[in-house]
Amino acid sequence: MRRLAVLLALFLFAAPWSLAEQAASLAARPEAQAANRQFLADIAIQGTTLTVRPGVYRIAGRELRVEQAASLTIEPADLVAIENEPLKLSRDRPNAWAAGTPLRGVRTPGVNASGALAPGSLVIRRSPGGEQLIEGKDYLVGTEFGMVGIGPESRVAADDTVFASYRCSLRRVDSVFIDTLGRPSLVRGQPDISVPVPPEPAWSGQRLCNVYRPYHAQDLTEDHLFPLLEAPDLAVTRSTSGRLPKALEKIKAGKPLTIVCWGDSVTTGGDVSRGSMRYVEQFRRMLIDGLPNPCLPVNVVNISYGGTNSRQWLRMEPFTDEWFKNPGACPADEVTFERIIALKPDVLTMEFVNDAPMDEAAVEQTYSEILKRVKPFGTELVLITPHFTAAHWMGFRSLRENENRGYVQALYRFAEKHNVAVADASARWAHLWKEGVPYPTLLVNTLNHPDDRGHRLFAEEMIKCFR
């Protein structure tokens, strides 16, 4: 995992909104799945053609009228051909993203994209246009991540330069807009290896839906359509207010406040466009902007290390990854809870997507130990629920599924039991499809590193805890 690194606040003592009350509020709202089914009934799909029929569409809480039908051609996912890319075959057997020589055409800012390489398209030759090497003998290939290595009976050496030709797919998000006369039109998005963004129209119009073109997409399916069913501010999360009374009192009194943001590669800011866009920095800006006096002494400290989980920082679990076994790769004084203790923070926030494999017993044991260690300093804890990772890691069959990780449910229960604050990033990610956003398009490395937009979701939920 290391290799993957791997709203303004109103500072008032608001009454806490219990998880039960939030669940009741969610149950009382219109069912987004039903709204999605109605949208699908109002349009037609055949092959690569999307037909938008006349009628009234309810989009993000408002009615959008379509006056005339339009049949729109949705192009397949973009394919890029790479010819004669020079490379040397790794001596390591290809292993996911971690071993082998990466094909550069499928590279994200962090690692190679999962699933972008077109199956069966790779051809490796001794020279451009020269003798073709044989897969399985001369070279090995890890198709999912586009990694190659030297074969068991290779006619070339690891120091030889060979030439790879292949095709890779890109992701794209197109959008359907309705103009002021009620006429639908399609605006094609800009393809990207991992994080395409929805396009904007060149004229005045309202967005009806986004059309997702995942890797290798050909014909259009209902799963590719993301109507704008709800506005982002309608997302119901379990982020809690009123559970940081001591911190809020310090802010109200104008006293110094220290907040430590603790976590893994997401907290370090893995794959953000620049350091200022990591969620810790976005949260810091939101916090300071919402202070009664922006000059109040608030210190936000980032203590994090990619590839780690909370139990390793507490020395409750050994480092098992080979990365950490390398001498000097992970100094003991860098991944230790003593760094947090030394700061005696007023607030400790925790983000560990790497804690997701923990069951409820492990959550209770580990997080209780954290509470015990910070109790002497009166530190208040904020648990950040993890963002969504790659769909196949989540076990999703659809991008419209709800949070299903036992760890997250255990985290909610722990927070209720111990009256600990929650910043519910998970629920915000679960709401994205209702906003017309296919959540994988926010994962820079296609696996577990959010882009700048994904980091902002963390910050927005964190700031709710300071109300």
Q: Summarize pLDDT for 271-325 with one digit per residue, the tens.
A: 999 999 999 999 999 999 988 777 788 999 999 999 999 999 999 998 877 667 6
Orientation angle between helical segments 452-464 and 279-289, nearest 10 degrees: 40
The answer on pLDDT for 19 being more than 70 is: no
Please give the tally of structural domains in the chain: 3
Domain that holds residue 262: 2-26+236-464
pLDDT of residue 327: 60
pLDDT of residue 437: 98
Percent of the chain, pLDDT > 70?
92
Q: What is the CATH number of the domain that holds 293?
A: 3.40.50.1110
What confidence category does residue 32 fall into, taking pLDDT thresholds of 50, 70 and 90?
A: confident
Last residue of a domain, one of 169, 191, 211: 169
pLDDT of residue 321: 73
Q: Are strands 205-213 and 172-179 parallel, antiparallel or unpaired?
A: antiparallel
Using a 10 angstrom Cβ sphere, with 0-12 exposed, 13-18 middle and 19 or more buried, the burial of residue 20 is exposed
141 and 209, same domain (yes or no): no
130 and 60, same domain (yes or no): no
162 and 259, same domain (yes or no): no
Tokens of 93: 């057997």
385 and 459, same domain (yes or no): yes
84 and 184, same domain (yes or no): no
269 and 378, same domain (yes or no): yes
50 and 194, same domain (yes or no): yes
Mean pLDDT of the 94-111 span: 94
330 and 393, same domain (yes or no): yes
58 and 103, same domain (yes or no): no
pLDDT of residue 30: 53
How many other β-carbons are positioned within 10 Å of the β-carbon of residue 90?
18
Last residue of a domain, one of 232, 252, 268: 232
Last residue of a domain, one of 121, 141, 169: 169
Amino acid sitting at position 213: R
pLDDT of residue 179: 94
15 and 164, same domain (yes or no): no
Secondary structure element (H or E) that encloses residue 41, with its range: helix 32-42
92 and 164, same domain (yes or no): yes
- Identify which of 354, 382, 385 has the alpha carbon closest to the alpha carbon of residue 370: 382
112 and 70, same domain (yes or no): no
